[in-house]
Amino acid sequence: MNITVKPIAVAHNSRRSPQDDDWARIPTRIVLESDVPAESLAGMDTFSHLEIIYYFHMQPENGIVTGSDHPRENTTWPKMGIFAQRKKARPNRLGATIVEIDHVDVTERTIHVRRFDGIDGTPVLDIKPLMREFLPVSEIRQPGWSTELMRDYW
Amino acid sequence: MNITVKPIAVAHNSRRSPQDDDWARIPTRIVLESDVPAESLAGMDTFSHLEIIYYFHMQPENGIVTGSDHPRENTTWPKMGIFAQRKKARPNRLGATIVEIDHVDVTERTIHVRRFDGIDGTPVLDIKPLMREFLPVSEIRQPGWSTELMRDYW
């Protein structure tokens, strides 16, 4: 079963090539594709945060990990299944992140956001408003390597 | 630009048809597709929560909203852009939710989870471990209708 999806927007920012860390200081503009109506953004500014689903378009198909690997190829961290880490080189090459809305410019068909972790030109596949009720209600547990990996991410 | 994705797993639970509410009490099994190695789940049980990206496979293409509409077609709620609400009938038909891991059975290629909000047979496109650092750091603001809509969701 193959599923075809199409970008509904493109992200623009100052980061031109894939990098691991320091995403928080980079502002991003998410601009709707020409066949998507501006009306799709109506009322968005009543929310503070969005979930963005996007596509790792710079990831070559032949490097994708389907089994397990060290996060960031760092062998001091354990080998983890690809679905137990967030490495870009993953089946379907989908990224997901929560961003803060700076402001929505409906006329310009543009959402100005902070804390987006994709590079310039990233195709955006979906945008959903964040509701508190979708956040975890039970305690979050995660291994030490992931806390280390995230130290300079934002 | 068309992007082709393929299910990496399928969700199984007792809910046979689309419904809006009462998701929390339904346990779900997420079973890897036959061409995905069990090793992709290695180490997953060191995390408590997962983000699941899935496909609304029961949503017919011809009902998709590209502009704006009332959430749940409830006219007492404002008309919202499709990217300012989480309606299933959306471009690319992608769903995203955070689930709690009950347990991971690597041999059976199965993840037992709670708080998955898709029906039986839902194709899963990606699974990512939740790290605290991906949750919002600033205050969450959302409109009244969304709080009302979410009242009986879980």
Q: Could you tell me the residue ranges of all domains in chain B?
A: 9-149
Which residues in chain B touch residue A6, judged by CB atoms under 8 angstroms apart? 1-3, 91-92
Question: Which DSSP category does A2 fall into?
Answer: -
pLDDT at B125: 98
Out of 2.40.30.70, 3.30.70.1230, 2.60.120.920, 3.40.50.300, the CATH code matching A9-133+141-149 is 2.40.30.70
For this complex, say whether ipTM is above 0.85: yes
What are the C-alpha distances in Å from B74 to residues B15, B45, B61, B88? 23, 40, 21, 15
Q: What is the pLDDT of residue B19?
A: 86
Nearest to B129 among A49, A67, A142 (CB): A142
How much is the average pLDDT of A33-52?
98
Element containing residue A144 per DSSP (H, E)? helix A144-149
What distance in Å separates the CA atoms of residue B39 and residue A66, rounded to the nearest whole number? 8
Angstrom CA distances, A29 to A26, A32, A56, stand at 10, 10, 17
Which band of pLDDT confidence, cut at 50, 70 and 90, is reported for residue A19?
A: confident
Query: Who's near A83: CB < 8 A, 6+ residues apart?
Result: A90, B8, B40, B41, B44, B50, B126, B127, B128, B129
Q: Residue B6 and residue A2: Cβ atoms within 8 Å?
A: yes
Record: fold of B9-149: Elongation Factor Tu (Ef-tu); domain 3 (2.40.30)
Residues of chain B with pLDDT under 70: none
Kindly report the nearest CA distance between residue A84 and chain B, in angstroms. 5
Average pLDDT over residues A7-26: 93
